[in-house]
Amino acid sequence: MSCLFCRIVAGEIPAAIVHRDDDVVAFRDIAPKAPTHILFVPTRHFASLAEAHDADAGLLGTLLLRVRDVARAEGLEGSGYRVVTNVGEHAGQSVFHLHVHLLGGRDFSWPPG
């Protein structure tokens, strides 16, 4: 298994896990771009949102609901937070396993990047 995030999900690479269930693993980003920067990955590998199928709707919904739950637990609900997924190299995706970034704890500008 060569996918970095698959190896984190499998417990082969240590990570600061903040949530784990059968469908989603969430862990703190090792190069945070905000005071709170947590990555959420489905336990099943697919490279990006572009590879998702309509049959994955339940998993994708669960993924976003876990983001919501962790944002609440991290105390971000009142001040707000940003949820981002990058699809492909031109969008800045560097690990090709679908993942969602939860960013919070500071002000953000628009447009990003």
Q: Tell me the catalytic residues.
A: 99
Q: CA 8 from chain center: how many Å?
A: 13
Judged by phi (left if over 0) then psi (alpha if -120 to 50, else beta), residue 14 lies in beta
CB 64 within 8 A of CB 56: no
Provide the H-helix boundaries in the chain. Answer: 4-9, 57-73
